[in-house]
Structure 1
Amino acid sequence: MDKWIALVKANMKHPKVTQTELAERLGMTQGGVGHWLAKRRVPSVADMNRVLAELGLGYLEVSLQIRERSAEGPDTTSHYNPYFRYPVSDWSGLCEAREERASYGAPRFELTDYHARGEAFWLPVTGDAMTAPSGLSISAGMMILVDPAITAEPGKLVVARWADSPQATFRQLLKESGQLYLVPLNPTYPKLLLTDDCRILGVVVQATAKF
């Protein structure tokens, strides 16, 4: 709930949208919106998503995480915590601007508590180019969450694609002697110079593994 409120308030500032204006768009009273943002009342998941859509965040979706009850019984101190879900993409033919493409089969989504700045998407990690012998290591089978709206700075993990290749690349962006390189975490792979014909599609903001 706290993260949803923070996201809504941040996007009401730029451009400025008052509670009254938002309430009119939703077909409800200003007081009702105020109760939600002050945590006096908890909106339904459907209402949370209606608010996001009215603020131009329709590419985000709030979902509930369902988990097994603990052996000690229900946790009466826990709070309602919304989760966001983002689509799972594949590496082949990954679109830079996430434009609409023909759908082949039902879309797949994964949940996270991260609320993205842009139209984020998940990618399954393949190969061992980002598997390091020590320190930061992201192995095959893990899922990475990519946010296109995050600024790609040296040190960040990024997904990039060359203009002449439909296959995207997952590497760490590093700066050496004034040049930017895409560097694997696995030292047995070569680093690649970031040239003008290579576009960074987004910054990796989360990596998860499922068991």
Structure 2
Amino acid sequence: MQAHKETYSVERMTTLAQRLKLSRSHANLTQKALADKAGIEQPAISQLETGKSMKSVHLPAIAQACGVSIIWLATGSGGMTSETSTFDANVEPAIGPIRFYEYPEISWVQAGAATEALDLWNLATCEKHPSDAWAGPNGFWLKVRGPSMTSQGGVSFTEGMVILVAPGFDVESGQYAVAKMIDTNETTFKQFVWDSGRAFLKPLNPAFPTIELDDEWEIVGRVVDAKWPRSVL
């Protein structure tokens, strides 16, 4: 298992309200247009942008409608665009040209194999999805399965969504990762949590158990983007 250390990140320097306003500006949408596109009521957008609401079950739909990363929108982690670093809350971010990358969607069986072995499969036949997040040369998408990462508020990954995995990227506490059991290559998608010198894989759905990340587990990669595939929109 890769080594981890407890860190205290300042990556969440912007508020959800600021990120939502920036997302709307990026998509060139009014509050009403965003609400219509996301299939929700306009007051829900207004309450988030004024800070009256600090979380919402509609964030995945809002992120999809604006064309931004759900992880960035909900937590400020990562970037809205491919190489966006942490924003200073006192500086109004400028929106520059967005570069998109395309990665294949592979199976969970393939994800459990060694990253170096991915080129053994005919990836040319895999469905591909674009992203403005950089996942490295070996990045790949996985389709979320089951309800373990579906929450009642805030970040939620519903079954059928796709997540972009960046193999080899460091994972800090609070970020999301795909891990595998070394002996069986069984893979899982969870939130990585570092607590009191121990690492855990935590589901967002409290009905599922938290797993201690011991020597039987290995991190496959960090999740850097998530969205609904176009085929289900």
TM-score using structure 1 length: 0.58
Give distance in 1, aligned partners of 2:136 and 2:168: 6
Choose which of 148, 167, 185 in structure 2 pairs with 1:166.
185
Equivalence for 1:133: 152
Structure that is richer in helix per residue? 2
Letter in 2 for 1:84: Y
Q: CA RMSD in A?
A: 2.1
Return the offset for 1:103. Answer: 3.1
Choose which of 89, 107, 116 in structure 2 pairs with 1:90.
107
Runs of 4+ aligned structure 1 residues displaced above 4 Å come to: 79-82
| Compared CA separation, residues 186 and 98, structure 1 to 2 (3 A) | farther
| Compared CA separation, residues 102 and 184, structure 1 to 2 (3 A) | same
Give distance in 2, aligned partners of 1:92 and 1:206: 20
Letter in 1 for 2:127: R
Give distance in 1, aligned partners of 2:188 and 2:121: 23
| Compared CA separation, residues 192 and 102, structure 1 to 2 (3 A) | same
Matched, 1:144 2:163: yes
Return the structure number with greater relative CO, CA threshold 8 A, min gap 6. 2
Aligned length: 133
Return the offset for 1:164. Answer: 2.1
Q: Secondary structure at the match of 1:158?
A: strand
Equivalence for 1:116: 135
* Structure 2 gap segments, 5+ residues each: 1-95
Return the offset for 1:117. Answer: 3.3
Q: Is the 8 A contact 2:143 2:162 kept in 1?
A: yes
Letter in 1 for 2:105: V
TM-score using structure 2 length: 0.52
Give distance in 1, aligned partners of 2:175 and 2:130: 22
| Residues 157-182 of structure 1: CA deviation (Å, up to 9, x unaligned) | 00000012232100001122221100
Equivalence for 1:186: 205
Q: Secondary structure at the match of 1:159?
A: strand
* Structure 1 gap segments, 5+ residues each: 1-78
Q: Secondary structure at the match of 1:86?
A: strand
Identity, % of aligned positions:
32
